[in-house]
Amino acid sequence: MAWALWGSILIMIGGLIGPNVSEGANGSPMVARRITNAQDLEDAVSGRLGGMRQSFTDAYSAPVETQPGIGDVYALPDVGLFAVQFQPRTEPAEEARAIWITLRSQRPATLPALTPHSADWTIDDALARVWPLLPVDAELAEPIADAGTMSLLIACQSDALATVFETDGGCRVRLVTPTPETVSFALIALGGPEPRSGGTPVATPVDPCADVATWAKTTADRVAEAVSLLDAIAALVPDDPGTPEQLRLWATRFAAMAADQRGESPPSAASRANRLLADAFAAYAAALDEAAAALVANDEAAMERATTMLSSANADLTRGDAALTQALTRCGVLDAQETASIGHLQIVRFVYDDIVPAGCPIDHRMSVAPCA
């Protein structure tokens, strides 16, 4: 049975361990506003990306639930899901700031993100929902179609975000588009990577390690988020009817992470690591979609496919980690002073054959004991 095979997913996920990463209610016109003082600063992000958790409670009331890997879920009319992820390990918790916001149309929760549905938004409708969740001073670039991931990527910039996070103020909006005219999910996050346009090759810099530290930092944050999601997946209860919905949400997150990683312009010394990590994120997205479908249909063959796909994703992460270590060592980033800031990239090696000995039946994956 597919539910029994869920154990194979938990065992494989459990092998990937590591430290975790780290409109407001009043609908605003789509015009950026300038920030002039400290009070304006907090008002600019209140109930929006960069705002404190308390500001979301003030705007939307207390969250109705908290979903691992997704964040606090708030009630919002005409939206299937409104979830906010806040900075981890912040005290007091009410002062943690929003770093990722997920919106889903009123489509069925277990439907894959790229399957069209009549409840999906138009692009204009989606943007109208996104705008009140961006800082009031945010300025948006023109949307760029990312055909490889069936999405639109919109870079944004905010002085308010630059101040509260002490960054360059970059942010991004990704609209998942099952059709060229409709949107199933809107994902709002910090950072503003530029996607590669239509697969146009990026010129190799003369220095193979040019700007490697910047690339390493954004990649580290992304890998740490992936590990956090995998930890949450390992904690799922297989017979919980909400498990397929959770898997669909996390599949959408992994797909966005894959697109963002592919959109990076790594130095040539890190290009292989970048590709392998992007492939791993995409593989996790596909595997989790397959697992969700298998659990809904109680399909043993589909769950076996999901297990195989997850094994491939684990292998990509292992190869990506090795390539990453090699690149950062070559570029002189992995020295005693720098290791502390990027050490969470070193993913614990996971060898699938150590969990499932060759020749063991798939049901044996519930256990790590040798099979007869």
Residues 253 and 302 in one domain: yes
Can you read off the two tokens belonging to residue 26? Answer: 């009043």
Does residue 363 sit in helix, strand or coil?
Answer: helix
Residues 10 and 50 in one domain: no
- Give the pLDDT confidence score for residue 357 in this predicted structure: 34
Least confidently predicted of 97-111, 164-178, 306-320, 349-363: 349-363
Residues 3 and 52 in one domain: no
Q: How confident is the model at residue 366 (pLDDT cuts 50, 70, 90)?
A: very low
Average pLDDT for residues 74-80, to the nearest whole number? 90
- Report CA torsion sign: 33, 38, 43, 48: positive
Average pLDDT for residues 117-136, to the nearest whole number? 92
User: Which H or E run includes 289?
Assistant: helix 271-297
Residues 182 and 220 in one domain: no
Indicate whether 205 belongs to any domain.
Answer: no
User: By residue range, what is the domain housing residue 315?
Assistant: 1-16+210-372
Residues 173 and 299 in one domain: no
pLDDT digits (tens, 9 = 90+) for 168-187: 888 999 999 999 999 999 99
Distance CA 153, CA 146 (A): 7
Indicate whether 199 belongs to any domain.
Answer: no
Residues 146 and 233 in one domain: no
Indicate whether 200 belongs to any domain.
Answer: no
Indicate whether 72 belongs to any domain.
Answer: yes
Indicate whether 204 belongs to any domain.
Answer: no
Look-up: residue for tokens 């963002």? 260
Residues 232 and 308 in one domain: yes
Least confidently predicted of 27-41, 113-127, 258-272: 27-41
Distance CA 44, CA 31 (A): 13
Q: How many domains does the chain have?
A: 2
Average pLDDT for residues 9-26, to the nearest whole number? 41
23 vs 266 pLDDT, higher one: 266
CB 178 within 8 A of CB 185: no
Share of the chain above pLDDT 90, in %: 19
For residue 210, what are the contacts with CB-CB under 8 A and spacing of at least 6? 267
pLDDT for 26 beyond 50: no
CA-based Rg of the chain, rounded to a whole angstrom? 21
Distance CA 87, CA 72 (A): 12
Least confidently predicted of 12-16, 223-227, 258-262, 280-284: 12-16
Share of the chain above pLDDT 70, in %: 74
- Give the pLDDT confidence score for residue 80 in this predicted structure: 93
Average pLDDT for residues 281-309, to the nearest whole number? 86
- Give the pLDDT confidence score for residue 314 in this predicted structure: 80
Indicate whether 203 belongs to any domain.
Answer: no
Indicate whether 202 belongs to any domain.
Answer: no
Among 162, 192, 222, identify where a domain stops. 192
Look-up: residue for tokens 């492939």? 279
Q: How confident is the model at residue 103 (pLDDT cuts 50, 70, 90)?
A: very high
pLDDT for 73 beyond 90: yes
pLDDT digits (tens, 9 = 90+) for 209-219: 777 777 887 88
Look at residues 198, 189, 168, 182 and name the one whose alpha carbon lies nearest to residue 257.
189
Residues 27 and 132 in one domain: yes
Look at residues 248, 135, 279 and name the one whose alpha carbon lies nearest to residue 185.
248
DSSP string, 193-250: PPPPSTTPPPPPPSSTTTTHHHHHHHHHHHHHHHHHHHHHHHT--TT-TTHHHHHHHH
pTM above 0.75, yes or no: no
Residues 128 and 246 in one domain: no
Indicate whether 46 belongs to any domain.
Answer: yes
Residues 252 and 367 in one domain: yes
Distance CA 79, CA 75 (A): 8
Residues 165 and 223 in one domain: no
pLDDT for 253 beyond 60: yes
pLDDT for 143 beyond 70: yes
Residues 299 and 248 in one domain: yes
